[in-house]
Amino acid sequence: MGRGKKIMTGTHFMMGNLACAEGAIAAGCEFVSGYPITPASEVVNRLAKRLPEVGGIFLQTEDEIAAICSAIGASWAGQKALTATSGPGISLMQENIGFAVATETPLVIVDVQRLGPSTGAPSVGLAGDMVQVARGSHGDYQIVALCPESPQEMFDLTVRAFHLAEKYRVPVFLLADAFVGHMREQVIIPEEKQLEIESRKIPKGGNDPMDRQDFLSVDVAPMPVFGRGFKAHVTSSCHDEHGMRNLSDPEVMHRYISRPIDKILNHRDDIIQVEADYSGASIVLVSYGTVGRSARAAAHLAQAQGLRTGNVRLITCWPFPDREIRQVAESVDFIVVLENNRGQLYPYIKAEAAHACRIELLGPETLGQIHDPEYILARIREMIK
């Protein structure tokens, strides 16, 4: 085999989960931890082979709790780190996702969603974790989550997830599903210099956190990674700008909650990506992830039949693209929200749209199956009758 290529530049026919693994390596990830779970296993299977070739480590942990904890530990040790799982694993990780939020730890968490609740149907895709990734850990916080619609985006958005994680010192979700994870399609991996790759800022020096601001900056505090003499104090207990625990000052508690939230919301224009194609349309299909493919096909069918139909695909689902949805609602007559669930983002979309236009939810004919574009069109015709 020989020393592996860091970036497999070229055109490939590749499974989505493998494209995700290659995206991680291209982004400079050198520590991955995970516990086997369908339909995410191929991500770590690939990385277990590839990482040692590029000087990295894959740790198969005793459970998903250890997976996220060791990845957070690796990130504090200065490495770009990733863990990959599916919904049941996310449920186990939730407490420590909150730890990553509270300690402003850059980290990529891949969730290849499967049909639930509970054990459900492991190899069937269903976007059932849309809210749990953003609201599943206790306390108040914001999260960044990106939703790929293709194997190509499994690569591109994994690279982008690392970019955002490092730039803003936050955990970032790649929120895929079994369909896109197992789909095989053309994946173009560009040259390294064409990739936008960012590495976290670290402090210029100092061996006393009381002389530095290590946390709670809305403009992202440099991260005092371990092993370089910074004598960092890291705790997920309520802490001040130096990382020192403070359970008595309400002002510190306010900043401990608000600053990490504002760090994300103040930069929402840089973080949020929405694919919008609805000029002149009166009906707009709003979707994300795999469903975006069906939505696009349905819009084409509808246009061919004279229905002025457009598309809006949320590439970034969290922070929630509220302004973008409002803008759509205020320029069309009817929004149809396509989700492969019983309406997880629908309440959030409705809250931004209902004042300006009609809005309906449309799941697939059978939950867990991909929306049939003909079915979408037929239902739209019924709705507008």
Partner 1 sequence: MSVSAHPFRRYMRNHVTRTTTCPGCGNGIITQAILRAIDELGLDMDDFIFVSGIGCSAWIPSPLFAADTLHTTHGRPIAFATGIKLCLPEKNILVASGDGDLAAIGGNHLIHAARRNIDMTVVLVNNGIYGMTGGQTAPTTPRGLTTITSPHGTLEHTFDICAMVAAAGASYVTRWTTYHPRQMTRSIKKAIVKKGFALVEAISQCPVQFGRAAKLGKAVDMLKHFKENSIRIDKARNLDEEALKGKIVVGEFVDIEKAELASEWARLKQEVMEV
> Contact between 21 and partner 1 (CB under 8 A)?
no
Minimum gap (Å) between residue 23 Cβ and partner 1:
20
Please report whether residue 57 would count as binding partner 1 according to CB under 8 A.
yes
Q: Give yes or no for residue 71 binding partner 1 (CB under 8 A).
A: yes
Amino acid, single-letter form, for residue 114: R
The answer to whether residue 3 forms part of the interface with partner 1 (CB under 8 A) is: yes
| Phi, psi angles (nearest 5°) of residue 60 | -90, 115
35 binds partner 1 (CB under 8 A): no
96 binding partner 1? (CB under 8 A): yes
Say whether residue 95 binds partner 1 (CB under 8 A): yes
To 5 degrees, how large is the angle CA 305–CA 309–CA 315? 135
Q: CB of 27: closest distance to partner 1 in angstroms?
A: 16
Tell the smallest beta-carbon distance from residue 346 to partner 1 (Å).
Answer: 33
**How far are the Cα atoms of 46, 70, 369, 371, 377 from residue 382, in angstroms, in the given order?**
46, 52, 21, 16, 9
In terms of DSSP bridges, do strands 274-277 and 309-314 run parallel, antiparallel, or are they unpaired?
antiparallel
Tell which one of 192, 196, 208, 330 touches partner 1 (CB under 8 A). 208
Element holding 303 (H helix, E strand): helix 291-304
Site for partner 1 in 224-253 (CB under 8 A): 226-227, 229-237, 244-245
Binding-site size, partner 1 (CB under 8 A): 47
Tokens of 350: 């409705």
Q: Is 66 in the site for partner 1 (CB under 8 A)?
A: yes
Which of 382, 334, 323 is CA-nearest to residue 357? 334
Neighbours of 192 (CB within 10 A): 12
Question: Do 285 and 376 meet the contact criterion of CB atoms below 8 Å apart?
Answer: yes
Instruction: Indicate whether 55 belongs to the interface with partner 1 (CB under 8 A).
Output: yes
- For the chain, what is the radius of gyration of the CA atoms? 21
Tell the smallest beta-carbon distance from residue 160 to partner 1 (Å): 23
Contact residues toward partner 1 (CB under 8 A) are 1-3, 30-31, 33, 52-53, 55-57, 59, 61-63, 65-66, 69-79, 81, 95-96, 99, 208, 210, 226-227, 229-237, 244-245
